[in-house]
Amino acid sequence: MSPTLSHKDLAGLAGCSALAFVLYLNTLNAGFVYDDRRAILANGDVTGARPLAHLLRNDFWGTPLVDSGSHGSWRPLCVLSFRLNFIAGGLAPMGYHVVNVMLHCVATWLVFLVARTLLPSRMGVLAAGALFAVHPVHTEAVAGLVGRADLAACVCYLLAYLSYRRHMLNREWASLVVTIVLALAALLCKETAITALLLCALCDVLSPVGRENSDKRRFRSLSILGFTLLCALYCRLSLLPRPSTAFSAADNPTAHESCLWTRTLTFLYLPVANFRLLLWPQELSFDWGMEAVPRIRTLWDARNILTAGFYGTLMALLCRGFGLRRSATPMDFAELAHISLPLVRRLGGNSCHTWLGLSCNCHHQLSAPSYRSASASSTTKSSSWQAAPILGTAFVVLPFLPASNLLFYVGFVMAERVLYLPSVGYCLLFGLGFGHLWQRVNSSRRCRLLLLCGLVVLLGVQGLRTCRRNLDWRNEEQLFRSAITINPPKALGNLGSVLSAQGRYEQAELALRMALGHRPSMADAHFNLGVVHQKQLNFSSAVPCFRRAIELRPQLAVAYLNLGTSLISLGDHRPEAISVLRIGARVEGSGVRDRGAHVEARYTCYLQLSVLYRSEGRLHDAVASLRESLKALPLLPSKQRAVLHLRLGEILAELQDWDEAEQQQRLALHLQPEQGTAYVTYGQTLARNGSRLAEAESWFKRALQLAPLEPSSHHHYADFLEQQERHHEALSLRLRAAALAPQDYTLQSCVADALRLLNRLAEAELWYRKAVTLQPLAAHAHANLGAILQMRGLRKEAVACYHKALELQPGHAISRANLARMNVHKDENE
């Protein structure tokens, strides 16, 4: 085809890109689902919690590459694009989805241009571009935000190929440099794009483009590509840290299979299973781990026939492609004319069309001195089309090979987004075949119409499937439900977690128990089931679930945390709770994938442990646990370190170690200079030291200036003023705090207490009644209302309130004591 785009080409290009855009419009209002939460919402490299330089130190998920739990996926350009999204629009998901859809449109546009360099038929090019635009297997890459790595890598990959095709025409340095830069950019988006330079070199070897240039210049280009590829491989494999922990058996069970025969047969079958998704993308899943693809344990498994047929077809395709090239290479028409015309001249002839039984279609005469260039152009086009099957196959195989588990094990069995780049080759081969059929029925208008209708039906069916699949990716519940028939344990386990977060506890419990029925060894499912029981206040059922989760995964720090809190809630297990929390706080988490969540769980364990020690009067143990946490968690975010310093300062103040307490408070202020809570806590510490009351009040006022809309700042300042018996000033602050948090029971009760201290009993009664409406099942709320009614002389109503408190909490001491003073204890006993 001509290097310039005709009006028909421009129309086809615009149509394919528009089709890609329209099909994914229903993803723009989707949210963050599945891996998006960890890769974006919980990734400090995206949200700006860490410096920009950390993009080069951390993996795709925000975990340091040197960490034992790092996935090893180093994709700084993709993470940088997420960070730019965050700078532009925060954590609103629409902006992220818009970028993904636009990248898919660009990729479709580039596929059309690539097809023009390989396919002889304009209809074949159009078919390839349209199929790429609508293929349902692309949904995970486009609708799932973490698929941006595949989208960006594909765009850079195809641009590198097109740039090198340009370089092949005249061997200019600029286009070669651009090719290398684009190939490296693709590698910085996703690891599988490392084959871009290899594909360019293969294209140079097979394609006749630029053959009129010297072999020396072509060899120079290939040498530079090879050297760059080796340097990239060396840097990626040697200079950058690689994962030190093997992937879990749930992610890639075949890799953990002890039988070599089973591993070999299964891994040989996996490319077949992936290709089946390209041919018939009806069954799609967000996860293909566990037993979604059953392992092949015997030679008599019927899937081995598919494996043999797949590799046989692949070899036949390659052999046919190379065979076509060999048949054209030894004596093409240009070379034949070069030999025959001088001989024909001596024999008195004027054409090489027929000579010694050989045919030549150059049709050049002796009077045409430019016969070599004209026939070479014809031969170049013919050879370019003959290379299309090989290059199309290379587009399928090369990008897929690093993720195939055939060269080395990876952290998944199958992943639909990994097929985004290999699907380019599949679409090219489809376009090649369709174009060939279109040319064969050139003389039959009816056949062409049938062929065109078939293409429209295929694109329509694929497009409808894509639109329907997009809806599955709009929210996590729908996504997990869609995969229950393919990967039941993983889908049901994740679905149970989502339902639990929504408060649908009965459905969540059912889903989690079904998941455990499929796979009893799922630590996450046991943990999530324990959380469901915990939220239902069924702590006795939650405890064994957390114990089982810890047994299956001893490094799961959050399971220790929840087990400890459940034991505390049971009431008579505090020593065991302390022991469990201490173990959870000290779990190093070797090999954990989500390092941030693990550190958060350990931090909370330390905090909970200090609270337990403090409640038992073991202040020195509480101080020791907080000091240990500051040493054990050096990478803790500054906000959380500030909380540890604040807690430590509070306990040191109780021990009257004023100097050390003040030092800890100042450290907290240094870490969080804009956090009003730190100023309040520092003021409270100074207030306990009776000689520094004026200084303490100044810190309370600073807190109000810094956070005037923070209810707790007004509340704690009011506490300080009441201790100084400045009740009128305290009341104004109480009212302000209650207005800022009208649904906070404690703040409403404190207003009532302040009014009672000022002997404004009628107003206090109104506030106590409001507090009761906020917590109608709290015994102390009814007891407080009864006390104010008793003070106002409303004996009958007061007795009713005390009885209600005793009904809610039979042993409520204050209600019993007040009823006894009112001489109604006999009535109560009755």
pLDDT digits (tens, 9 = 90+) for 522-575: 999 999 999 999 999 899 999 999 999 999 999 899 999 999 999 988 877 888
125 in a structural domain: yes
Q: Give the side-chain half-sphere CA count within 13 A for 498.
A: 18
786 in a structural domain: no
Give dist(CA 609, CA 141) in Å, integer.
43
Give dist(CA 670, CA 658) in Å, integer.
18
- Which residues lie below 8 Å from residue 516, measured CB to CB, with a gap of 6+? 489, 522, 525, 526, 529
Confidence of residue 2 (pLDDT cuts 50, 70, 90): low
Q: What percent of the chain is modeled with pLDDT above 90?
A: 40
What b/e string do you get for 768-807 counting C-beta neighbours within 10 Å, with b at 16 or more? bebbbebeeebbbbbbbbbbbbbeeeeeeebbebbbbbbe
Residue 378 confidence (pLDDT): 45
pLDDT, tens digit, for every residue of 601-648? Answer: 999 999 999 999 988 888 899 999 999 999 988 878 888 888 898 888
411 in a structural domain: no
More confident residue, 713 or 293: 293
Asked if residue 483 has pLDDT above 70, the reply is yes
More confident residue, 422 or 254: 422
pLDDT, tens digit, for every residue of 30-53? Answer: 999 988 998 999 888 898 888 888
Give dist(CA 75, CA 488) in Å, integer.
31
What sign does the CA torsion over 537, 539, 544, 550 have? Answer: positive
Say how many Å lie between the first and final Cα of the chain, rounded: 102
Please provide residue 99's backbone torsions phi and psi, each rounded to the nearest 5 degrees: -65, -40
Q: How many domains does the chain have?
A: 1
pLDDT, tens digit, for every residue of 195-236? Answer: 999 999 998 888 766 555 567 888 888 899 999 999 988 887
Q: Which of 67-76, 485-494, 642-651, 818-827 has the highest mean pLDDT?
A: 485-494
767 in a structural domain: no
Residue 478 confidence (pLDDT): 93
- Residue at 100: amino acid letter: N
Confidence of residue 22 (pLDDT cuts 50, 70, 90): very high
More confident residue, 208 or 153: 153
Residue 244 confidence (pLDDT): 54
C-beta separation of 264 from 301 below 8 A = no
Q: Token pair for residue 687?
A: 């207030």
C-alpha distances in angstroms, 611 versus 276, 410, 606, 607? 57, 43, 9, 6
User: Which residue has 């408190």 as its token pair?
Assistant: 805
Q: Identify the domain containing residue 183 by its residue range.
A: 7-248+389-405+421-466
20 in a structural domain: yes
What b/e string do you get for 21-57 counting C-beta neighbours within 10 Å, with b at 16 or more? eebbebbbebbbbbbbebbbebbebbbeebeeeebeb
Residue 610 confidence (pLDDT): 92
Residue 8 confidence (pLDDT): 85
57 in a structural domain: yes
Residue 209 confidence (pLDDT): 62
Residue 671 confidence (pLDDT): 80
Give dist(CA 133, CA 706) in Å, integer.
53
Report the run of H or E that residue 84 belongs to, with start and end.
helix 76-89
Residue 320 confidence (pLDDT): 74
C-beta separation of 160 from 402 below 8 A = no
Among the listed ranges 154-168, 276-290, 341-355, 410-424, which one has the minimum average pLDDT value?
341-355
Asked if residue 346 has pLDDT above 80, the reply is no
pLDDT, tens digit, for every residue of 310-324? Answer: 999 888 877 776 665
Asked if residue 338 has pLDDT above 60, the reply is no
Residue 321 confidence (pLDDT): 67
In this prediction, residues 13-40 reach a mean pLDDT of 92
Q: What percent of the chain is modeled with pLDDT above 70?
A: 88
675 in a structural domain: no
What sign does the CA torsion over 497, 503, 505, 510 have? Answer: negative
The gap from C-alpha 779 to its chain's centroid, in whole angstroms, comes to 46
Please provide residue 695's backbone torsions phi and psi, each rounded to the nearest 5 degrees: -65, -40
Among the listed ranges 291-295, 332-336, 581-585, which one has the minimum average pLDDT value?
332-336
More confident residue, 223 or 351: 223
pTM given for the model = 0.80
Confidence of residue 691 (pLDDT cuts 50, 70, 90): low
C-beta separation of 59 from 73 below 8 A = yes
In whole numbers, what is the pLDDT of the chain averaged over residues? 84
C-beta separation of 733 from 714 below 8 A = yes
173 in a structural domain: yes
280, 286, 288, 290: CA torsion to nearest 10: -150
Among the listed ranges 329-333, 751-755, 764-768, which one has the minimum average pLDDT value?
329-333
Reference 429, options 47, 128, 726, 642; nearest CA is 128
More confident residue, 284 or 573: 284
- Residue at 261: amino acid letter: W
Listed in sequence order, the DSSP H helices in 536-657 are 539-552, 557-570, 574-585, 595-615, 619-632, 638-654
pLDDT, tens digit, for every residue of 793-810? Answer: 888 888 888 888 888 888
